[in-house]
Structure 1
Amino acid sequence: MIKDILLVVENSAHANPIIRAAVTMAERMTATLTIEVLTASPLLIPALAPMTTMYVPDWSMAEDEADQIKAISASVAGSSAVIRVLGLRDDAMSLARRAGRAGPIADLVVMGGEADWETQWLRRRASETIIMGAGTPLLILAGAHALPPVLNAVLGWKDSPEARRAVHDLAALAEPGAKVSVVTVGTAADDDRASDESADEVVRHLIRRGLLAERKSITSPELSDTETLEAFALEEAADLLAIGAFGHSRLREVMFGGVTRSLLDKVRLPLLLSR
């Protein structure tokens, strides 16, 4: 049961749609919503963050932060949900390290996709920091739409501690009786027999939780594992795609790519990342 939501946004007009979506979620779940507003030092060229940071006195950044907090607080004042708005300001590099970890404790951290952030570097680094260090599942919303009641979900499964955490986080979000497809991607030659066997145990566990779970094994010679999993979720019209995040080290994913980073780069449906 989700009763405490933390939304992380950038101090920018781009954040308005995702704020509305998070408020809608909080109202539906009768949850408390904390909005954490990140105010970074101005950038000459946002696309080159964090290398183009300009020096600005702290008092000036504090005024900018206070103005945004006031504006957001006014915009959500009519909501039936309990909402608080907090600020966090620093240079872009430090903000990325502190995002989602500066104090608020939540059941779920929420962020928007590319369109909801002006500084894409900050979005990527903040999301990775939250996944790696917050100890709380991260939900990325696609197109700034609120997460609907989860009646149809896909769990990308490859047996790991991160994937096992995703099972429990998904169960907390899914509606009673929801359909859950437990999906393994690849072929028998991919050294995934253990994942196939454990996927059956995941199905049994989810059924005991009152969910309509079934196992699927899919492969596509034309697509990467990420593309295959995402395409399956879209074809199934899933309300949510859940995975265990950064099963490999983040450095390895940065150097060689991986499912987590690929899904984070362009979010096409609500994405739940657990670690």
Structure 2
Amino acid sequence: MAFKTVLSVTGADHSDQDVRTAASLCAEVGADLSVLVIRSATRPPMGDGIPVWPEQRAQDMARLENRSRQIERLSQGMARLEKQSREIQALLGTMRLSYDVDTDYCDHASVGDVVRQRALCADLTIVGPALLNDSDLGPLVMNGSLFETGKPVLVVPKGAEATLWPQRVLVGWDSRVEASRAVREALDLLSHAKEVRVTLVDPEPTYNGNGAEPGADITAYLARHGVRVVVDRLPSAGQSIDTVLAQHAIDTSADMIVMGAYGHRRLRERIFGGVARWILEKPPLPLFLAR
């Protein structure tokens, strides 16, 4: 499918690099850019009353002082949020681009739902370097955009040459529904690539899985869509599948990796952490994920 609306989520304290990356990708394919500037905060405690008993006075005064400090932090956070929004609008105003900028100040537990609402009406969410390196906000955005919507996410690490017209793409394939959905969501960019390598690690011929010839079915599917595709079957040799795919992407000069994101709730933090480790341990390479 073609990408017509792209969502970029950024923190109020982040630089404008993630927005610049998303804007460049939108300009490349003629998509509209929707920017969400978000700040999370702990919800102030409610229910403080007027002191009744003398022995409660010290405790209640401490609560009131704490409430005052929280309100002050809230005011400062809103000011930073508004400042970041104005700066982003000024930046995008200099580009020939259709865009909108929205802000949201919410408690930590609501971040995922706030992002989910925006991502439901976008074709693709971009997770840029600043968000990727934000261990607090990053996983919440990933959960809301990827796991709660079924929409794809493009992770763009620092230093990566991001494009939605990649020339060489590696597809991690294992005959699971998540991998199939990733291929379907990436079909438009795959059909324009010069080379797509469907890569299987330790594939086993099975009747209800990979089939008699692992990779043959997905290769035929892609070929019918005009994709220039070859299949690679690789041994793991005791290494993790992620490591094998990463090395093969390097060896084949891939511009992007497309793969399914697997995640029971307890694994979501590990998936985001795995993406972050990817950036630290391997050369920067955009990662297209779908669930």
TM range (shorter): 0.7 to 0.9
Report Cα offsets for 1:62-113 as digits up to 9, x if no partner.
3322211111101121111111111121123321443243476111111113
Q: State the partner residue of 1:266.
A: 278
Give me the whole-angstrom Cα distance separating, in 2, the residues matched to 1:20 and 1:192.
Answer: 47
Give me the whole-angstrom Cα distance separating, in 2, the residues matched to 1:128 and 1:265.
Answer: 18
The alpha carbon displacement at 1:207 in A equals 1.0
Q: State the partner residue of 2:102.
A: 86
For 2:13, the aligned partner's letter is S
Q: Number of paired residues? A: 257
The alpha carbon displacement at 1:226 in A equals 1.0
More displaced 10-residue stretch of structure 1: 98-107 or 216-225:
98-107
Q: 1:129 to 1:264 in 2, by over 3 A?
A: farther
Q: Does 1:142 align with 2:157?
A: yes
8 Å CA contact 1:207–1:213 kept in 2: the answer is yes
Give me the whole-angstrom Cα distance separating, in 2, the residues matched to 1:123 and 1:265.
Answer: 14
Residue 215 of structure 2: SS of its match in structure 1?
A: helix
Q: Does 1:105 align with 2:121?
A: yes
The alpha carbon displacement at 1:153 in A equals 0.5
Q: Does 1:153 align with 2:165?
A: no
Give me the whole-angstrom Cα distance separating, in 2, the residues matched to 1:187 and 1:174.
Answer: 22
Q: Does 1:243 align with 2:259?
A: yes
Q: RMSD of aligned C-alpha atoms?
A: 2.7
Give me the whole-angstrom Cα distance separating, in 1, the residues matched to 2:290 and 2:111.
Answer: 21
Report Cα offsets for 1:111-167 as digits up to 9, x if no partner.
113x44563132123213321112210100121645222111111011111111111
Give me the whole-angstrom Cα distance separating, in 2, the residues matched to 1:187 and 1:135.
Answer: 26
Larger Rg: 2
Residue 99 of structure 1: SS of its match in structure 2?
A: helix
Q: State the partner residue of 1:210.
A: 226
- Aligned-residue sequence identity (percent) comes to 20
Q: Does 1:67 align with 2:79?
A: no
Relative to the length of structure 2, the TM-score reads 0.78
Q: State the partner residue of 1:7.
A: 8
Residue 194 of structure 1: SS of its match in structure 2?
A: coil
Q: State the partner residue of 1:45.
A: none
The alpha carbon displacement at 1:236 in A equals 1.4
Residue 232 of structure 2: SS of its match in structure 1?
A: strand
The alpha carbon displacement at 1:195 in A equals 2.6
For 2:261, the aligned partner's letter is A
Residue 194 of structure 2: SS of its match in structure 1?
A: strand
Q: Does 1:119 align with 2:134?
A: yes
Gaps of 5+ in 2: 43-68
Give me the whole-angstrom Cα distance separating, in 1, the residues matched to 2:24 and 2:268.
Answer: 34
Residue 226 of structure 1: SS of its match in structure 2?
A: helix
Residue 70 of structure 1: SS of its match in structure 2?
A: helix
